Amino acid sequence: MTLTDGGACVPLTLDELVEMLAAMGGVPGEAQGLSELDHGLQCAHELACAHPGDTELCVAGLVHDVGHLFASDEDHGRAGAERVRPLLGERVAALVEGHVPAKRYLVATDPSYRSRLTAVSVTSLGVQGGPLSSEQVASFEARRWSAEAVELRRADDAAKVPGRIVPPLDHWLPALREVAG
């Protein structure tokens, strides 16, 4: 699967995205016994339970960490958004990109949020720039879909349970097809 062509992003096909997600089953996640695919499936399931009619939000939850396959932790949101934007659209891409600043936003605005983060998330928070400043908070809140990015972030935080049974990748194929249009 070719992800770049001379530094420019090559749009993914739906089959390539599904291959990429399946490959994440072999990438260890944040918790022992949890792969990056498991994490994405749990995140999508969390969002489907909380927002059953929002297919784009659920798909964003499924694909939110694909950037981990080819970018550093601090840049995985932006890199993932660039890869999925041509296939899944602007909203899904904005949510994928927004899940990293949403963590920084929540740390800055919710005094109890940081204590709920895993040790790995606290470490990555530092790499990602730490809590947003008051100016950055205002900028984040002004973004289109910022509230949904926060919802995705909260689902991301809840989606780290080794052994949790959720629908498999095949379950999400119709939603992926729908969003890909």
DSSP secondary-structure letter at 28?
Answer: B
pLDDT-based confidence at residue 72 (cuts at 50, 70, 90): confident
Q: 5 in a domain, yes or no?
A: no
CB atoms within 10 A of CB 176: 20
Question: Measured between alpha carbons, how far is 78 from 64 in angstroms, rounded to an integer?
Answer: 10
Q: 128 in a domain, yes or no?
A: yes
Q: CA nearest 61: which of 152, 164, 173, 165?
A: 152
107 token code pair: 């740390």
Q: 26 in a domain, yes or no?
A: yes
Which CATH number is 93's domain given? 1.10.3210.10
Q: Are 131 and 122 in contact (CB under 8 A)?
A: no
Q: 45 in a domain, yes or no?
A: yes
155 token code pair: 């689902």
Percent of the chain whose pLDDT exceeds 90 = 76
Q: Which residue has the higher pLDDT, 75 or 48?
A: 48
18 token code pair: 């599904």
pLDDT-based confidence at residue 1 (cuts at 50, 70, 90): very low
Residue 3 has pLDDT above 50, yes or no: no
pLDDT at residue 97, rounded to an integer: 97
Residue 2 has pLDDT above 60, yes or no: no
pLDDT at residue 5, rounded to an integer: 40
Q: How many domains does the chain fold into?
A: 1
Q: 3 in a domain, yes or no?
A: no
pLDDT-based confidence at residue 7 (cuts at 50, 70, 90): very low
* Max CA distance (Å), the chain: 44
Q: Are 28 and 179 in contact (CB under 8 A)?
A: no
Coil, helix or strand at residue 9: strand
DSSP secondary-structure letter at 160?
Answer: -
pTM listed for this prediction: 0.91
pLDDT at residue 11, rounded to an integer: 63
Q: 122 in a domain, yes or no?
A: yes
Radius of gyration of the chain (CA): 15
Angle between helices 14-23 and 36-50 (to 10 degrees): 110
Q: What is the pLDDT of residues 79-125, one digit of tens each?
A: 999 999 999 999 999 999 999 999 999 999 998 999 998 888 888 88
Q: 2 in a domain, yes or no?
A: no
Q: What is the pLDDT of residues 53-71, one digit of tens each?
A: 999 999 999 999 999 998 8
Domain that holds residue 36: 12-180
The DSSP code sequence of 72-134 is: -GGGHHHHHHHHHHHHHHHHHHHHHHHHHHHHHHHHHH-TTTGGGS-HHHHHHHHHTTSSPPH
pLDDT at residue 12, rounded to an integer: 86
Q: Are 95 and 148 in contact (CB under 8 A)?
A: yes
pLDDT at residue 9, rounded to an integer: 57
